[in-house]
Chain A
């Protein structure tokens, strides 16, 4: 091309799939009587096969053998990354020896192998309360056997899947709680991605009714502020997981007797810095690390000589149970060390998750 005095930029070369779309969009639009929109939520993918093209890059294996190392996970050695690397390495003269420029015209037509239609995902957000102390957030299945019936995500998603007629869902939330912990107050923000939904238009009224249907179906969970949101909005929720505070209420037992004065000191402690090693109960599946977390405020309620209730406001990511029982001294300080006793947690409730998303609706 240089010999012809022409200079080409990368963007001057039309990608094959762009050219295909330029041709096919108007044809489809006419045939179906609807406008073709490259950014539509309804996506049609066509897979083509052209063995001649697949063979094209083979010569690179002889010129740059070290770029193409077989790895156990890859079907073919000629991955996109490997080919790009080889093309960057190869000298222009060597390239021209093996491959003409411009390339020669293909001898065969390509074959359309399959056509797939997909609806773009829609997102439903809300906040959930959890009233059961026997409900996992996600299904608890070990060796194909379900250990506990149902889960927060199934109880919420079941109805949504049916109404939106989706193939599958992805549930995420702003943090999560253990099986035996309740979520009270305004609840915890969650978002559900509904994959390949066949129905996506719902009025606010219809969403309200959907929320009511979910709430009527179970007393273990309740949802509020159920609404459609965009993919970008999910970021607000995940931000909440790492940055926003949470408040809890814990029922604590102590071995040695306590009087009201003994626990009063907890009320005065502000911004308590904790060093928490990865708790033993999750250490089998998480890396060993020490995390520094802050307990912002505490407020105690005396019950009897061996029990009191503690309200705490903490930084996101604080392990509350470990703060109470100390986890073999691996969370320092802990309630035991602060009160000079052995303490244990009998019950834990999440009182609030301080994230202002999704927007509160007039429920």
Chain B
């Protein structure tokens, strides 16, 4: 008997991974969007993100992204998720500061309705670093039905992202 296809975490079997590297021109601030076959997307940090490198300690995670907007106040109701905060690709989801004084903004990367942000990482920030692709996810977003195919147009496939990583390694060496 073999291990499940996508590796650990059975939920991942049904997800396609899409990537957005160097968001807003910031080097290595890469995100990974897990797109389920039912069009629900989970926003996560990609392995290369500075916050996931050894030595980084997370000091705080803040879902209050502006004076008027806290992602924690997002309330959705019904099947169509009415009342959800609508996100564009560069809408900030949260701000994370590390103990070395750095500040990182996590972006949505896709257009859609914000369904939920992960409150578990507020009480347990190490979850974000230990399991960024599963329990340490950032948010769940539901793209519009009409946009469900086009929503990943601005993102890279796993293969394309691996080429980006290769280029980075070659240029730094």
Q: Which positions in A face B, CB cutoff 8 Å?
A: 253, 255, 277, 280-288, 306-307, 321, 324-329, 342-346
Contact = CB atoms under 8 A, between A and B. Distances in A.
Given A307-B1, A326-B134, A328-B42, A287 B10 contact: no
**Which 3 pairs from chain A and chain B are nearest by CB?**
A344-B10, A329-B135, A325-B10
A35 to B, nearest CB: 49
Query: Chain A interface secondary structure, helix, strand, loop or mixed?
Result: loop
Nearest to A321: B10
B1 A329 contact: no
Interface residues of B, number: 29
Given A280-B40, A344-B9, A287 B1 contact: no
A280 B11 contact: yes
Given A344-B4, A346-B4, A284 B9 contact: no
B38 interface: yes
Contacts of A325: 9-11
Contacts of A346: 1, 4
Q: Which of B14, B40, B118, B137 has the most CB of A within 10 A?
A: B40
A329 B79 CA distance: 22
A329 B120 contact: yes
Nearest to B127: A329
B142 interface: yes
B49 interface: no
B10 A285 contact: no
B134 A328 contact: yes
A327 B81 CA distance: 20
Interface of B: 1, 3-4, 8-11, 14, 36, 38-40, 42, 76-79, 81, 115-116, 118, 120, 127, 131, 134-135, 137, 140, 142
5 contacts: A253-B3, A285-B79, A288-B115, A328-B134, A342-B9
Given A325-B10, A342-B8, A344-B10, A283 B135 contact: no
A287 B115 CA distance: 10
B134 A286 contact: no
A302 B37 CA distance: 33
Contacts of B39: 284
A253 B135 contact: no
A283 B81 CA distance: 10
Contacts of A286: 79
Contacts of B131: 329
B44 to A, nearest CB: 9
A288 B40 CA distance: 12
Contact of B79 (A280, A287, A345): A287
B3 A324 contact: no
A280 B137 CA distance: 13
A285 B115 CA distance: 12
Given A327-B11, A328-B135, A328-B137, A284 B142 contact: yes
A284 B40 contact: yes
A49 B79 CA distance: 41
A288 B120 contact: no
Contacts of B77: 287
B137 A288 contact: no
Nearest to A343: B10
B40 A255 contact: no
Highest count of chain A CB atoms <10 Å: which of B10, B76, B78? B10
Contacts of A307: 1
Contacts of A288: 76, 81, 115-116
Contacts of A344: 3-4, 8-10
A112 B166 CA distance: 80
A286 to B, nearest CB: 6
Contacts of B42: 280, 328
A329 B134 contact: yes
